[in-house]
Structure 1
Amino acid sequence: MRDLIVLGGSSHPALTKMICKNLTIEQGQVLSKKFSNGETSIEVKGSVREKDVFIIQSGCGNVNDNFIELLIMIAACKTASARRVTAVLPLFPYSRQPDIPHMASVTGAPSISTKKDQYTYESRPGTPKPLSSFNGPRDPSLTRPDSSGLITPLLRGRDLKDPFREITPRDSLVPVGTPVDARGKTESGYKQWIAQNGTLIANLLTTAGADRMITMDLHDPQFQGFFNIPVDNLYLKPLLKHYLIDYVPNYQECVIVSPDSGGAKRATSLADALGCSFALIHKERRIKTTEGVKAIGPLGVTSGLSAVNHHPSPGTHTTVSMLVGDVKDRTCVLIDDLVDTSYTITRAAKLLKDQGAKYVYALVTHGVFSGDAINRVSKSAIDKVITTNSVPQNDNLAGLGDKLEVLDVSRVFAESIRRIHNGESVSMLFDHGW
């Protein structure tokens, strides 16, 4: 095609080659290297003057290095007088942080996970110590009761008793003793100050010179609102629909399951397209138990409502996972947009098998599988995982073998690039795929 150049970053060169093969064009040459201090250097081989440039870089691997490399490539092309630069990010980086900020020490999600021989697949790995203890000054002398009896910091910035002793900003955020949940929120809805990176990432891309962006299955579709440039959020639903029809026996009888409430819309959309039934796993996070009261007991299975309850000691926090729907002796299909540590889908699969599910598929768009996720999935109740090559899957295929199947999305991205370059509509890909 005339005046079209496709460049690829270092995150996923195999996908770039496959996209160029589908477009029947030669891949543009880019020389990327690092200096001894870690700085990235980019040199674009060949002229991009007045060309339509598409830069493919997925948000995987060394995410920060790859993102900086993408920004430098965009700026290099704009400096070289490219007519239009489109950033193609099959997996968009930092898109989950506006939803649930990563607080490893609070949520219990490990920053670094180790490989184990056995897993419990309960609702949460080790529950950290009670959260009410980290929100205030450690020294009782720095606090005093107010008229309501609630202990609060004396003064933001300085202690009245000791004017030379500072109270840290963290101590001043919420009163001491105020209950705080796993997401850092109090009962009034106040949220601790945690960096929200959505606007920053969007501004970095547009400031570097990106004129358009293409991605697939954003964790939160509202993330497009951070951009003031066109964003094409491609859907994997057509490909998943074709896979279920072609490879799942009696697919009309299967149950489409959302592993959490956030993915319910995605799962119900696929269930409606296939005419299948739908089930939802709902998690109540950090339910407090009090002294003298027994932990939550079993709820039993009534009218399609079932639950797995965990019995904590009094005064701790726990999580209850409830299955809404009937899955007994049925084939279940878990639908999610991303698998990272695999805690969500492996625990969901255990709950489904406990409730009598016969076979469990896990269909996910982006299979990151970080930490010990591969080992967890291999030992879990999931019978088969289907993901895409939006991120490299060679190592994951070696670890999971026949348990993992990879769908090719290069044709979808290639067709979207062709249509955008020719000024055609991209909406057909949302409904029919390619």
Structure 2
Amino acid sequence: MEESKTKRRMKIFSLNSNHALSEKIAAEVGMPLGKAAIKQFSDGEIQVNIEESIRGDEVYVIQSISDPINDSLMELLIMVDALRRASASQINVVIPYYGYSRQDRKARSREPITAKLIANLLEDDAITRVLTLDLHAPQIQGFFDVPVDHLAAAPLLASYFSDGSFDVENMVVVSPDHASVSRARTMAELLGTPIAIIDNRNEESVESINEIPTEIIGNVKNKIALVVDDMIDTGTRLTISAEALHNAGATEVYGAATHAIFSNNAPKILQESKLSKIIVTDSIRIDADKKFDKLVELSVGPLLGNAIKMIYDNEPLAPLFKSQK
């Protein structure tokens, strides 16, 4: 009895960006979501009310920094402030999609580094830990001075293709540009395939569906090509990659990415592309009007839920980086 009194208590709270994923995470952990109300005043100010005691608790708050991205960020910051003032012993933020991550360095003069700014805001808010998934650049972990657990969706995505329905021996994993080679290599190692690289040196070309790269490093002729990226925003880069691979002789082209941002008319572009299927995760909520026939959605709920249990029990997360059937 004395031991149960001193045992740390865990609470999991969901904010508004992706409540469906939060429910899956909580189900994996084996506990209900905490009670909290997140509302807005008439002028748009965000109001948070935690409707149960969390004094001394180890709290996990789940929020993707996704569309509406600024509201999602402010919800998270305000919730953390409320948790701290309510005497939570630890405040762990679970960020399936870390928004503002694409500006992770100064590529041109007079540019901000927004990925570092978000890290500063969260640390100034006195968080204890960050649990996140497939950062745009792994070095963003170094922007924090608190522990960061950086999970990968590659084993989950790879499991979709290694279930026996695909001729993996005739598959090649493709990087859409030189910057994404390490991501493609990780997927290729999980599937046991070679890699290829689309030699897309003109960054502006990804904005135009009419400019198709012609140079491909590696053999894709008569192969099933799998283009791997961390996110899909407008869908243009994935679409032109599919065109380039078909022109180079690939028999089929699939796309796989962790974060389905799907801005503007991305679903229409992807549905009309030469891609056979597009496999993504539910790290970002995909509304019904953004779903389309070629889309396959896998859940990272079990992955994040298991990570929370391991963190709470002070266990290593290494098993989560292995292939997940």
Q: Is the TM-score greater than 0.5?
A: yes
**Counterpart for residue 196 of structure 1:** 113
**Counterpart for residue 75 of structure 2:** 69
**Counterpart for residue 345 of structure 1:** 238
Task: Give 5+ residue unaligned stretches, structure 1.
Answer: 102-182, 184-190, 288-309, 312-317
The DSSP-based 3-state class of the residue aligned with 1:201 is helix
Length, aligned pairs only: 315
1:25 counterpart = 2:31 = yes
The Cα shift of 1:432 comes to 4.2
CA contact (8 A) 1:257 1:334 kept: yes
1:387 counterpart = 2:280 = yes
Q: Deviations over 1:242-297 (max 9, x none)?
A: 2111154211210100111111011112212322111001212279xxxxxxxxxx
Query: For residues 202-351 of structure 1, what are the structure 2 equivalents within 5 Å?
Result: 202-246=119-163, 248-285=165-202, 321-351=214-244
Which structure shows the bigger proportion of residues in helix conformation?
Answer: 2
**Structure exhibiting the larger radius of gyration computed from Cα positions:** 1
Q: Deviations over 1:182-237 (max 9, x none)?
A: x6xxxxxxx32111112211110011121100111111000111100000110112
- Counterpart of 1:36, as a letter, is S
- Counterpart of 2:308, as a letter, is I
CA contact (8 A) 1:334 1:362 kept: yes
- Pair 390,247 (structure 1): closer, same or farther in 2 beyond 3 Å: farther
Which of 404, 411, 420 is equivalent to 2:311?
A: 420
**CA-atom RMSD, angstroms?**
2.1
Q: Deviations over 1:61-107 (max 9, x none)?
A: 210111011001111111111010000000001111125x7xxxxxx
Q: Deviations over 1:142-164 (max 9, x none)?
A: xxxxxxxxxxxxxxxxxxxxxxx
Task: Give 5+ residue unaligned stretches, structure 2.
Answer: 1-6
The DSSP-based 3-state class of the residue aligned with 1:341 is coil
1:408 counterpart = 2:325 = no
Scaled by the length of structure 2, what TM-score is found? 0.92
- Pair 21,37 (structure 1): closer, same or farther in 2 beyond 3 Å: same
The sequence identity of aligned pairs, in percent, is 33
- Counterpart of 2:310, as a letter, is R
CA contact (8 A) 2:159 2:324 kept: no
- Pair 348,246 (structure 1): closer, same or farther in 2 beyond 3 Å: same
- Pair 397,14 (structure 1): closer, same or farther in 2 beyond 3 Å: same
The DSSP-based 3-state class of the residue aligned with 2:185 is helix
The DSSP-based 3-state class of the residue aligned with 1:246 is coil
Aligned equivalents of 2:131, 2:203: Cα separation in 1: 37
Scaled by the length of structure 1, what TM-score is found? 0.69
Q: Deviations over 1:414-434 (max 9, x none)?
A: 000011111111122123458
Q: Which runs of 4+ in 1 moved over 3 A?
A: 318-321
